Amino acid sequence: MITDVVIAGGGPNGLMLACELSLAGVRPLVLERLPRPSEEPKANGLLGQVVRMLDHRGLCGPLSGSAEPPRPNSAYFMFGALGLDLSLLEHSPVHTLPVPQRRIEQVLEERAIELGVEIRRGHELTGLAQDGDAVTADVAGPDGTYQVRARYLVGADGAHSATRKLAGIGFPGVTYDRMTVRSAHATVPADWVDPATGALHVPGYGAVAPFMPHRTERGGFSYAPMPGHPPLVSTTEWDQPATAAAMSLEELRASVRRVLGVELPLGPPGGPGPHALRRLTGGNTRVAERFTDGRVFLIGDAAHVYAATGGGPGLNLGLQDAVNLGWKLAAEIRGSAPPGLLDTYEPERRAAARRMVLNAQAQAALIAPGSDVTGLREVFAELLRDPGAVRRLAELTTGADVRYDLGGGEAHPLTGRFAPDLDLRTPAGPVRLAELTRTARPLLLDLTDDASLSRALGHDQVDIVTARAEAPAPTALLLRPDCYVAWASASPRPGPAELEALRATLRRWFGVSEPART
Ligand SMILES: Cc1cc2nc3c(=O)[nH]c(=O)nc-3n(C[C@H](O)[C@H](O)[C@H](O)COP(=O)(O)OP(=O)(O)OC[C@H]3O[C@@H](n4cnc5c(N)ncnc54)[C@H](O)[C@@H]3O)c2cc1C
C-alpha cells in the first residue's frame, strides 16, 4: 500500500506540515523517533511573521490562552544586543508570542490528531530509497523493523536529520566552536531589582534591562525574569570552554564575574527542579545544499539551523516552510497542481533562509568580544537613531521583509508579501482578514466598490469574499493558502487587462481556468 506522504519527525515543524496537509485533504503519516515528548527546554517563544501566520490558522488563541489577536510590540527589541527603539516607527513589524516549545508542540499535536493525522511514536526512519513512483522508508518501531512506501517523504527530523544524510544532501555553513553559553534559573538579591522597570541593578556595574542581551568586551549577559519561574540568567563567552565537571551554579557565578567584572550572588531557586542548568559549547549556522531531492523534501531544522543571539529564528522559518510546502504538496497529490508548482518550494524558502543567515551572522559579529567590535557597535548605535535603519533591522530579524519573487515588475507592492492586517466589513458582519484564512484555501478578497470582481469571476478552487476595508487597502487581493499575496489591485474597478492578469495568476497557482459565473 502506498501512503501519500510520510513525515519523518513529529517536532513542531513536522506537526505543522501534518496539519497543513490535512487541511488540504491529504492525510500524512508522521513517524516520531521518541516514544514520548521530550522535556528538553528549547524555544521560550515565537518571534516574527510566524506569529501572524499562526493567527491566520487560528492557532494564536490556543497558544497564548487569549482571544485577543496578536499585536506588534511597540517598545524595544534588539539586534546584536543593541536596542531597537520601535517607538520611532509608525507600525512595528515585531510580533512575539512567549510560549514554551513544549506547549507549541502540544497544541500542534492536538490539532493534528483532531484533523485525523496518524502519529506513530517510537518509530524511527532508518533508511530510504526512491524510484520514479515512490519513496520506500525503512522504519525501526517498537515491534521491529518494517517498510512504508509513500509518494513523498518529508524530513522534519531536526538539525541532525537522518533524511538529509540518507538523501546525501550536504549541510555547509559555519560553526562557532569558541563560544560557550551557560544558563540557569537562579535567584538574585531582591533589592537589586527595580520594581518599576524590572531592571537588575548590579553594584559596581550598573543597570541591566530585563530580557535584553547585554554585551561587554568579555562576553554577553542576560537576565530574564520569566513569569512563574525564577529568573533565567545566562552568559555567553569566547574561549572559556567546558570542563569535565557537570555544570553548576558556581560555574555560572564565575562566568558572570568574568563577563561583568563584578560579583552577582546567584542562589539556588526554591521549588522542584530541574532549574535548566545548561552549558552549550559551539553553535552552527548552516543551510542544506538542497531542500529537495526527487520525492524527498526537507523542512525546518533539517534544512537550516542558526546560532542565534536574541530572538531565535528557528521556528519563524521552519513553521513557514511547513505552510509553504503543505498546500503545494497536497495539490500535487490531488492532481490539481499546475506544472512546476512544487518546484517553487525551494527557491521561495531558500531565499528566506538566506536572509536569516545574514541576520544570524551579523548579530554574531556584533556581540563578539574585543574593542574593535565596541567601535563597530558605537557606529551601529548612531545609525539606529534613524527610524529607517530601525525598521530595516526589525524587518530582517522578524522576516517581515520576505517578498517572494512572484513575477511582474509592474506587480502591486503587496505581491509576494504576507497578507496585510485588514479589518473588514462583510455582509455577514465585521471580520479580520486573518479569520478568513483558517481553512487554508486560496482566497480572492474583493474590496471594489461595486463587487465587480466577484461578479466577473467564479472559481471552484478559490473562495471569493466581498467586503469593505476599514482603512486604506488595495481593492482586491488574491491570497495563496500560505497567505502570501499572489495578485493585488489598486483600481476601484479593475479593467479587462487586470482581469486577464488575475486569471493568469489563478492558472499559475491553482491550475484550472476559471469558469465564468452565470
Ligand atoms: C536551547 C534552544 C533554544 C531555542 N530557542 C528558540 C527560540 O526562542 N525561538 C525559536 O524560534 N527557536 C528556538 N530554538 C530553535 C527551535 O527549537 C528549533 O528551530 C525547532 O525545534 C526546530 O523544529 P523541527 O521540528 O524542525 O525539529 P526538532 O524540534 O528537532 O524536531 C525533530 C523531531 O524529529 C524526531 N526525529 C529525529 N530523527 C528522527 C528519525 N530518524 N525518525 C523519526 N523521527 C526523528 C525528533 O525526535 C524530534 O521530535 C531553540 C533551540 C534550542 C536548542
HEC per residue, 48-67: CHHHHHHHCCCCHHHHHCCC
The secondary element (H helix, E strand) that includes residue 367 is helix 345-367
pLDDT in tens, 318-358: 999 999 999 999 999 999 999 999 999 999 999 999 999 99
Contacts (Cβ under 8 Å, ≥6 apart) of 90: none
Q: What is the pLDDT of residue 294?
A: 96
For residue 472, the model assigns a pLDDT of: 79
Probe residue for ligand 1, chosen from 101, 148, 165, 284 as the CB with the greatest number of ligand atoms within 8 Å = 101
What is the pLDDT, as a whole number, of residue 265?
95
Cα(158) to centroid(ligand 1), Å: 5
Q: What does the pLDDT read at residue 516?
A: 42
- 162 CB near ligand 1 (under 6 Å): yes
- Would strands 463-466 and 443-446 be described as parallel, antiparallel, or unpaired? parallel
Mean pLDDT taken over the chain: 92
Confidence of residue 220 (pLDDT cuts 50, 70, 90): very high
Q: What is the mean pLDDT of residues 276-299?
A: 91
Please identify, by atom number, the ligand 1 atom nearest to the C-alpha of residue 38.
49
Q: With 70 as the cut, is the pLDDT of residue 276 above it?
A: no
Distance from Cα 10 to the centre of ligand 1, integer Å:
9
Cα gap 79→384, rounded to integer Å: 10
Extract the C-alpha cell encoding 65: 490562552
Question: For residue 6, which amino acid is it?
Answer: V
Best probe residue, ligand 1, of 157, 164, 281, 324 (max atoms within 8 Å of C-beta): 157
> What mean pLDDT is predicted for residues 266-294?
85
pLDDT at 513: 58
Counting from 1 in the atom list of ligand 1, the atom nearest the Cα of 311 is 8
For the cut 50, the answer to whether the pLDDT of residue 181 exceeds it is yes
Q: Looking at residue 356, what is its pLDDT? A: 93
Tell if the pTM clears 0.75, that is, is over it: yes
Using an 8 Å Cβ cutoff, are 338 and 509 in contact?
A: yes
pLDDT value of residue 274 = 62
List the beta bridge partners of residue 420.
Answer: none
* 302 Cα: distance to centroid of ligand 1 (angstroms): 9
Q: Is the pLDDT of residue 283 over 90?
A: no
Listed residue (73, 40, 67, 41) closest to 55, CA to CA: 67
**Cα dihedral 111, 114, 118, 124 sign:** positive
Q: Which atom of ligand 1 is nearest to the CA of 157?
A: 34
Which residues contact residue 500 at a Cβ distance below 8 angstroms, ignoring those fewer than 6 apart?
none
What's the Cα-to-Cα distance from 312 to each of 186, 261, 473, rounded to whole Å? 22, 28, 32
Q: How far is the CA of 123 from the centre of ligand 1 (A)?
A: 17
Q: Is the pLDDT of residue 403 over 80?
A: yes
Ligand 1 centroid to residue 11 C-alpha, Å: 6
Where are the extended beta strands (E) located within 278-359? Answer: 278-281, 284-287, 292-293, 296-298, 304-305
Q: Residue 425 and residue 153: Cα distance in Å, rounded?
A: 42
Output the residue whose Cα is nearest ligand 1's atom 27. Answer: 158
Q: What is the pLDDT of residues 81-130, one digit of tens each?
A: 999 999 999 999 999 998 989 999 999 999 999 999 999 999 999 999 99
* Residue 199 in this model has a pLDDT that exceeds 80: yes
* CA 387 to centroid of ligand 1, rounded, Å: 35
Burial annotation 507-516 (CB, 10 A radius, 16+ → b, else e): ebbbeeebee
Indicate if ligand 1 lies below 6 Å from the C-beta of 476. no
Atom number in ligand 1 closest to CA 41? 1
* Nearest in space to 46 (alpha carbons), one of 37, 59, 29, 35: 59
Cα of 47 from ligand 1 centre, angstroms: 16
- pLDDT, residue 166, reads 98
**Cell output for 279:** 552549558
- pLDDT band at residue 230 under the 50/70/90 scheme: confident
User: Are the C-beta atoms of 306 and 287 separated by less than 8 Å?
Assistant: no
Q: What pLDDT is recorded for position 312?
A: 73
Regarding the beta carbon of 124 and ligand 1, being less than 6 Å apart is answered yes
User: Best substitution site from 99, 315, 319, 359 to test ligand 1's pocket, by max atoms within 8 Å of Cβ?
Assistant: 315
In 3-state terms the chain splits into helix, strand, coil percentages (rounded to 5) of 30, 25, 45
Q: Whose CA is nearest to atom 7 of ligand 1?
A: 43
Please tell me if the CB atom of residue 9 comes closer than 6 angstroms to any atom of ligand 1: yes
Residues 464-516: tens digit of each pLDDT: 999 999 877 899 999 999 999 999 999 888 888 888 889 899 999 998 655 44
8 within 8 A of 137, measured Cβ to Cβ? yes
Cα of 194 from ligand 1 centre, angstroms? 35
Lowest mean pLDDT among 9-18, 137-146, 266-275, 384-393: 266-275
Point out the ligand 1 atom lying closest to the alpha carbon of residue 15: 25
Measured from the CB, is residue 45 less than 6 Å from ligand 1?
yes
Please write the tens of the pLDDT for every residue from 28-80.
Answer: 999 999 999 988 878 888 999 999 999 999 999 999 999 999 999 878 899 99
Candidates 368, 383, 352; CA nearest to 80 is: 368
Q: Is 456 helix (H, G, I), strand (E, B) or coil?
A: helix
Residue 157 Cα to ligand 1 midpoint, Å, equals 8
C-alpha to C-alpha distances, 118 to 27, 113, 251, 507, nearest whole angstrom: 8, 7, 45, 33
Contact 509, 341 (CB under 8 A): yes
How far away, in angstroms, is 44 Cα from ligand 1 center? 13
Q: How confident is the model at residue 362 (pLDDT cuts 50, 70, 90)?
A: very high
DSSP letters spanning 490-515: --SS--HHHHHHHHHHHHHHH-SPPP
What confidence score (pLDDT) does residue 514 get?
53
The answer to whether residue 457 scores a pLDDT higher than 80 is: no
CB neighbour list of residue 182: distance below 8 Å, 6 or more residues apart: 234, 235, 237, 247, 251, 252, 255, 278, 279
pLDDT of residue 518: 38
The CB density around residue 55, as the number of other CB atoms within 10 Å, is 25
Q: Is the pLDDT of residue 4 over 90?
A: yes
